[in-house]
Amino acid sequence: MIPVIIIGGGASGLMLSSLLPSKTATIIEHNAKLGAKILISGGGRCNVTNANVSSENYLGDQKFVSTILKKFNQHDMLAWCNRKNLNLVIQKNNQYFCPSSAKELQEIFAKDSQKQSVILNQSVIGVSKIDDYFIVKTNRDSFKAKNVVVASGGLSYTTIGASGIGYEIATLFGHSIKKTAPALVGFTLQKEQFFMKELSGTAIENVNILVGGKVCSGALLFAHKGVSGPCILDASLYWEKGTIEIDFLPDFDWHTAKQSKKNISTILPLAKRVLKAILDEFSLPDKPYSQLSKDEQSKLHTLKSYKFAPAGTFGYNKAEVTKGGVDTSEIDELTMMSQKVENLYFIGEVLDVTGELGGYNFQWAFSTATVCAKSIR
């Protein structure tokens, strides 16, 4: 009997396998290689963690998240990387990246996994429990295990292996699943915002977005299909449906415009192409602020509180993560074990915890894997 079967050779499964004693675990991964998502993450450099990590960077049960982060936080992750001679570099927004390529981290994990048994190119299709052991069924074989760890991630990027197997196993064993949706993803637009499509390829360096009681800040990118960029991706985490409010000019004070005799297009700190599209859309003449009518001034002011309801998102195949997942109230945060089924564990993105953009999702994968590794036997 295999002591531990890990379903999924992604970030969380690989960290767990690296921490477990040699020859205790078998990873079952349906891709032809381990850590495929790590390789394409962070623009090919993998944003491993962030200098500032707290439960507030996550959508999910704050107490659950903070208990797990206390056991393995960003400092522990940095120390782990140092021990592996991976000297991460810190960049904007306190994000830590691999020095030159995500391959550096993936190769560490691939090397560590050699102390375990790895089965590639097989898809787990079901798990059952008989007495005190599990049968893990794949499309080609079946395996007997004492412990099963579900590390199969979410539904994002099916092209590199994402599947709903984690949710299926959880449901089969009586767990509840919090509604899943694509997150860290761009928004599609309703007719009223179609003018933004003409701006495809341009960006605004800093906007604030008010969504679901949270304020997200960062760059907004006008894309062919809608809007994207770091600020929109974060906003998608907190958006259910309905309206979001964008401040296109977070660092701008109307006082500056009121004092100036220059045309508004010269004063407002937005790219010329963006401003022209907005002025056209709002039917505003390009004049000094003081020469605008009251009605025109108030239209212009909406640039600091522009409300719109996204039509939807770009979907799972463009989303960096899946929000929702296995209900954390049914998981023991001290061990990651199911409270319903002994020796069944859930780690990483399959859980109903999702981080913001900036290295928080890998940190979550690694923190949950470490908590699990310390308790599994």
Ligand X SMILES: Cc1cc2nc3c(=O)[nH]c(=O)nc-3n(C[C@H](O)[C@H](O)[C@H](O)COP(=O)(O)OP(=O)(O)OC[C@H]3O[C@@H](n4cnc5c(N)ncnc54)[C@H](O)[C@@H]3O)c2cc1C
Residues contributing to the site for ligand X (CB under 6 A): 7-13, 28-31, 36-37, 40-42, 46-47, 123-124, 151-153, 156-157, 161, 163, 165, 320-321, 348-350, 359-362, 365
Please state, in angstroms and as integers, the Cα–Cα distance from residue 341 to each residue in 234, 347, 362, following that order: 34, 15, 26
b/e string for 267-295 if b means 16 or more Cβ within 10 A?
bbebeeebbebbbeeeebeeeebeebeee
Q: Which is nearer to ligand X, 60 or 275 (CB)?
A: 60
Q: Which is nearer to ligand X, 90 or 256 (CB)?
A: 90
Q: Which is nearer to ligand X, 7 or 292 (CB)?
A: 7
Q: Which is nearer to ligand X, 126 or 242 (CB)?
A: 126
CB of 15 to ligand X, least distance (A): 8
Q: Which is nearer to ligand X, 46 or 257 (CB)?
A: 46
Q: Which is nearer to ligand X, 75 or 307 (CB)?
A: 75
CB of 274 to ligand X, least distance (A): 27
CB of 340 to ligand X, least distance (A): 20
- For residue 327, report the phi and psi dihedrals to the nearest 5 degrees: -60, 120
CB of 360 to ligand X, least distance (A): 6
CB-CB neighbours of 314 under 10 Å? 19
Q: Which is nearer to ligand X, 36 or 331 (CB)?
A: 36
Residue of minimal CB distance from ligand X?
10
CB of 22 to ligand X, least distance (A): 21
Please state, in angstroms and as integers, the Cα–Cα distance from residue 150 to each residue in 10, 45, 180, following that order: 11, 26, 17
Q: Give dist(CA 217, CA 204) in Å, integer.
A: 11
CB of 197 to ligand X, least distance (A): 23
Q: Which is nearer to ligand X, 126 or 285 (CB)?
A: 126
Q: Which is nearer to ligand X, 196 or 233 (CB)?
A: 233
CB of 123 to ligand X, least distance (A): 4
CB of 102 to ligand X, least distance (A): 8
CB of 8 to ligand X, least distance (A): 3
CB of 196 to ligand X, least distance (A): 23
Q: Which is nearer to ligand X, 41 or 208 (CB)?
A: 41
- Three-state SS annotation for the chain: CEEEEEECCCHHHHHHHHHCCCCCEEEECCCCCCCHHHHHHHHHCCEEEECCCCHHHEECCHHHHHHHHHHCCHHHHHHHHHHCCCCCEEEHHHEEECCCCCHHHHHHHHHHHHHCEEECCCCEEEEEEECCEEEEEECCCEEEEEEEEECCCCCCCHHHCCCCHHHHHHHHCCCCEEEEEEECCCEECCHHHHHHHHHCCCEEEEEEEEECCEEEEEEEEECCCEEECHHHHHHHHHCCCCCEEEECCCCCCHHHHHHCCCEHHHHCCCCHHHHHHHHHHCCCCCCEHHHCCHHHHHHHHHHHCEEECCCEECCCCCCCEEEEEECHHHECCCCCEECCCCCEEECHHHECCEECCCCHHHHHHHHHHHHHHHHCC
